[in-house]
Structure 1
């Protein structure tokens, strides 16, 4: 027989899915702010800019209100102007923010600034934080992360990168092209990944630069099928572009560390936000199905509709668990690469499915602009591509499976190093 203490230990008491009262208070405040201040704007045609995002003047007012309410930059430490939340805490809030298509940017928690701020906080010197991070935190400027290149340059495989930086005294001289750089047209602060040596592990460096520096240009803002972040997705060209050595983020040759530090959490915060949008799709579909009647039967009473909504509810919960597990891995000081890949694949596909099914249930109404479903549907297709295509993440998972075997599914044990 076992004692009560032994039974408790055997029951895995450390698996606790509760959140703190303080976090619940923040979640409730954000939920109320989204419902009362942001969502009503979605129905106003004048609330949108020319690229399907929130109008800048309205955004400025909302950001001031959010900051006054103490709902600003939850992802950063207190000393850097944030709320000091862990990644698991961020998971709770980001999902809540993105009940509205306009939500995250209001709280300064939208891509690409979100990921850029986190990596600057993690790797920047005190001087770099003051110069490059603080203005983004204060909402005075926006930022962009320039890594992806046109074919045959680097995409998911950074070893193919063609943009090169060559040392010249106290400067580096950069030549090359980047494309699909999110937010570039609206950005003042940029991070640029360039090849500085032929070493596969230490051959890339991350540089910081301001939009006012000469010898680079935006070639075009690339038209896309979906609504855009502020600043769009742009193609950039660098011609004998000079960057001081002091504006290297991290260390020379450690650009891939910067990439890993930034992209892992950034992929996960995408998933956190996408869960909010998926839940909104279910909300809109359920509301309509409960009201719409045909052939004497409400849609919600039809088994086919019940199956669609019930499956979505389950898949959203699966996504929440995957995201929370990945967030917990990062909070333990690990990269959580395989956990992030699993979350990214699942939630990206879930978002597209949720929007598609919600449109189907709403019929022509869902295909129109009377709801935000068509906005979410157009936006959702990119989810399976950005920050690594599904297939790349599945290859990553297979590599982990090959390395770990059955330990791929191991349990962490209290008191043991992972």
Structure 2
């Protein structure tokens, strides 16, 4: 792997860095910039999105012919990290979850007609989207084989019944990708469907309160009652729901890592500025050996996370599924984010614990990282299975 970023990638990264510095960081200091769920307010978001579009910094992950910038996964890694120096960054550039993962999977598997109807409005920023998979117990969580929501074929339609929960962004989404059971086959028992917010037969039961802060649209519980979806809105073939999920979740897990690295670096940036100025018992905190150990360890772990993320991104760009590499990055970077922001709060003391900095926001947000898109323990199980199967080849350079 060549660690030199392409000229195009570096140009985009530098321009995003400038946009974040000049446009977004100042907004974080203004109370009027926030909505009731502690994210960027809708009015401010739309204004910033127009600026990002005007500067050609829009939908980096989407192919050019569909209205995006067509960046490679490696180029995305550098740019996503730069944009999430701000807590407002990803959504401004139309590169936030779940939209970015939905755009990437639809660009790969949707028919041309489906791309025109369902994908392009997301790419354009006209609508937002959601991925509807997770269910309350005893339904599917990390184990999709436990899915209870079912879709039954009725002529040219499918009739859906079931309950989903923790569906990110559902409160504001217009376009939804739904995974439902269509047979009892262990590998081909799930199928994927598209539906619109105005389609009858479903409802948002509640917006589930979380530790927060929340993405736009929250994390919702949905109920489907005899919802009718025409077969033309089925994605891929009947029974390909698990395959679609795997196509989507690998890259989407990695884009989480890219963004989390930006937040981890921002945390150390805040802490470094504070300890460089703050004196205690006649000496600056930055000159104390214990403080240096804390900063050095956190910085080292961030770099380890960046290398794992870049390696997985590079393998994806080579056409590899990079399942081991993505899992390793997901586990390591989720831990690194929490360690980095916890270290920053400790070094900033009461100021870090207060809302005078963005650290407490990042700290609460960081706790979900070890849960979303597969809990860390599940990814470790995947890695263990690969190790036992491959032996020494687990670490192959190939």
Both structures adopt the same fold (TM-score exceeding 0.5): yes
Name the residue aligned to 2:340: 354
**1: CA distance between counterparts of 2:301 and 2:259?**
15
1:52 aligns with 2:23: no
> Would you say the 8 A contact 2:201–2:224 is kept in 1?
yes
1:125 aligns with 2:111: yes
**2: CA distance between counterparts of 1:242 and 1:111?**
27
Name the residue aligned to 1:111: 97
**2: CA distance between counterparts of 1:111 and 1:295?**
45
Alignment of 1:211-360 (within 5 A): 211-360=197-346
1:142 aligns with 2:150: no
**2: CA distance between counterparts of 1:221 and 1:307?**
42
Task: Determine which of 363, 369, 391 is the counterpart of 2:377.
Answer: 391
**2: CA distance between counterparts of 1:267 and 1:26?**
22
Name the residue aligned to 1:12: none
1:372 aligns with 2:358: yes
1:89 aligns with 2:70: no
Task: Determine which of 167, 171, 184 is the counterpart of 2:153.
Answer: 167
Name the residue aligned to 1:24: 10
Q: Deviations over 1:363-402 (max 9, x none)?
A: 0000100000000000000000000001000000001111
**2: CA distance between counterparts of 1:94 and 1:180?**
24
- Unaligned segments of structure 2, at least 5 residues: none
After TM superposition, give the deviation of residue 21 of structure 1 in Å.
2.1
After TM superposition, give the deviation of residue 146 of structure 1 in Å.
0.4
1:189 aligns with 2:175: yes
What SS does the aligned partner of 1:186 have?
Answer: coil
Runs of 4+ in 1 over 2 A off after TM superposition: none
Name the residue aligned to 1:151: 137
- Unaligned segments of structure 1, at least 5 residues: 1-14, 413-418
**1: CA distance between counterparts of 2:269 and 2:362?**
13
> Would you say the 8 A contact 2:6–2:75 is kept in 1?
no
What SS does the aligned partner of 1:135 have?
Answer: helix
After TM superposition, give the deviation of residue 99 of structure 1 in Å.
0.3
Cα RMSD for the two superposed structures: 0.6
TM-score relative to the length of structure 2: 0.99
After TM superposition, give the deviation of residue 19 of structure 1 in Å.
1.1
1:202 aligns with 2:188: yes
**2: CA distance between counterparts of 1:22 and 1:168?**
50
TM-score relative to the length of structure 1: 0.95
What SS does the aligned partner of 2:60 have?
Answer: coil
What SS does the aligned partner of 2:94 have?
Answer: coil
What SS does the aligned partner of 1:40 have?
Answer: helix
After TM superposition, give the deviation of residue 250 of structure 1 in Å.
1.1
1:382 aligns with 2:368: yes
What SS does the aligned partner of 1:228 have?
Answer: coil
What SS does the aligned partner of 2:319 have?
Answer: coil
After TM superposition, give the deviation of residue 24 of structure 1 in Å.
1.3
> Would you say the 8 A contact 2:74–2:310 is kept in 1?
yes
What SS does the aligned partner of 1:407 have?
Answer: helix
**1: CA distance between counterparts of 2:220 and 2:320?**
33
